[in-house]
Amino acid sequence: MRAPRKLARLLTAATAASTLSLAAGCDTLADAGQSIQPADLVNDLAARLAGASALTYSAEYQLAGGASASIIQAQDPQRTAYVYPGGKVIVTTEATTECEATDTRPVCTVTDPPAPSARPDPATLTEVNAGGLITPPVVIALLDATALDPTAVVAQNDTTIAGRHATCVQVSQVRNAAASRFDACVTTEGALGSFTGVVDGQAVEIAISRYRDTVDETAFDLPPGARSIDRRPGAA
């Protein structure tokens, strides 16, 4: 599937600035006069993504094929909504709600929330990936796997996406991960700027198109007319 021109321009920008190739082990960052470990680089990006869980923001993404998606996050209490073609996942301190749009009436399944201070289980977000939107918890898991793999090859560059500075990595030869190769950019704030790769057999290609530090509270509501099925222990 070919990406539309706007998405292609956004993703091409991720390769436009000073690329540094890093094989496993330690290579020299000659221009900066310092050395860097690939594991340190991807760990830094994973930590930046994880740290963004404390932020309030709305990020809109363009997907390959022209569709759009969004990630909306707020605090006090912490809650996140992932909206993608065909569905929506809402994660709060009280529940994880997965909504699947149908031709008739959306169906939302309610299960237990992630453990306190824990990220959502990437397995919970499989349908989001299938809908074309990769999520920060999944990208964090990929970066963690890269950091632990001595055979992984990592290249790095800085760029600007939708007016936001971002650090990007191009990763290949990763073992024991949902994707063996992928490109990911993370903004200075910690938002996912772009991602290209095949994750669990699903091709994913996204780029951020708009970022705001405010949210619309209706983003955490169920889709209009949705039928809710509560599968939490003790639910009536």
pLDDT digits (tens, 9 = 90+) for 34-56: 334 789 999 999 999 999 999 99
Torsion of CA 173, 149, 134, 127, to 10 degrees: 100
CB atoms within 10 A of CB 114: 15
d(CA 45, CA 188): 10
CATH assignment of the domain containing 183: 2.50.20.10
* Distance, CA of 45 to CA of 139 (rounded, Å): 10
Q: Say if 66 falls within a structural domain.
A: yes
pLDDT the model gives residue 23: 39
Question: For 4-15, how does the pLDDT look when each residue is reduced to its tens digit (9 = 90+)?
Answer: 444 444 444 333
Residue 146 CA to residue 102 CA, distance in Å, equals 37
Tell whether 195 is covered by a domain.
yes
Tell me the C-alpha distance between 186 and 228, whole Å: 34
Domain assignment present for 54? yes
Tokens linked to 216: 């619309």
What's the pLDDT tens digit per position in 86-140? 899 999 989 999 999 876 889 999 999 887 766 677 777 888 888 899 999 999 9
Q: Has residue 101 been placed in a domain?
A: yes
- 158, part of any domain: yes
Q: Is the pLDDT of residue 3 over 90?
A: no
Give the tens place of pLDDT for each residue, 179-235: 999 999 999 999 999 999 999 888 999 999 999 999 999 999 999 999 999 999 876
107 beta partners: 100, 227
* Structural domain of 150: 5-230
CA–CA separation, 192 and 139 (whole Å): 9
Q: Could you tell me if residue 93 is inside a domain?
A: yes
Where does the pLDDT of residue 2 fall: very low under 50, low under 70, confident under 90, or very high at 90 and above? very low
Q: Is residue 236 part of a domain?
A: no
Digit-coded pLDDT (tens) for 152-188? 999 999 999 999 999 999 999 999 899 999 999 999 9
The letter for the amino acid at 61 is Y
Confidence of residue 21 (pLDDT cuts 50, 70, 90): very low
* pTM listed for this prediction: 0.81
Task: Identify the CA nearest to 184 among candidates 123, 232, 127, 141.
Answer: 141
20 lies in some domain: yes
Task: Please tell me the distance from the alpha carbon of residue 9 to that of residue 225, in angstroms, as a whole number.
Answer: 38
β-bridge partners, 126: none
Q: Copy the structure tokens of residue 184.
A: 């990911």
Count of the separate structural domains present in the chain: 1
Single out the residue of 61, 82, 62, 63 nearest to residue 71, CA to CA.
Answer: 82
